Structure 1
């Protein structure tokens, strides 16, 4: 599954266009490598996403095409969240 689609389905980022924009700005890494919106994800991949002053690291636990809102959090597991001091 594409990175931008996963971010939208898991509701980490609300819109797919915004997910693509964030990826294209270099704010997302997959397994330590900078990722583009079209990067293919697999179960077990580790994503690190920079949201402003916060760095969120999570693990992909499931990939599904259709997800209900209540089940969206079952697609990933947050490993850590940290604040960035600039």
Structure 2
């Protein structure tokens, strides 16, 4: 699954366009490497999102094309 789509579906970022812009600015990394919006994620990858002074680190647990709002948190585990 593409990184920008995962961020939107898992609700780590609200909109896919914002996720793409964050990737373009180098604010998101996968396994320690700066990521592009089109990078493919797999289960077990570690995502780091840096929003100014706030940073989120999460491990990809599940990849689904569509999930309900209540189930979105099951797609990742915060570290």
**TM-score, normalisation: structure 1:** 0.90
Secondary structure of the residue aligned to 1:77 is strand
Unaligned runs of 5+ in 2: none
**Counterpart in 2 of 1:33?**
33
**Counterpart in 1 of 2:55?**
55
**TM-score, normalisation: structure 2:** 0.98
Secondary structure of the residue aligned to 2:63 is coil
Larger C-alpha radius of gyration, 1 or 2? 1
In the alignment, the residues of structure 2 paired with residue 33 and residue 15 of structure 1 have an alpha-carbon distance, to the nearest angstrom, of 22
RMSD of equivalent CA atoms: 0.5
Runs of 4+ in 1 over 6 A off after TM superposition: none
1:1-86 aligned within 5 A: 1-79=1-79
Unaligned runs of 5+ in 1: 80-86
Residue 56 of structure 1 deviates from its aligned partner by 1.0
User: Aligned pair count?
Assistant: 79
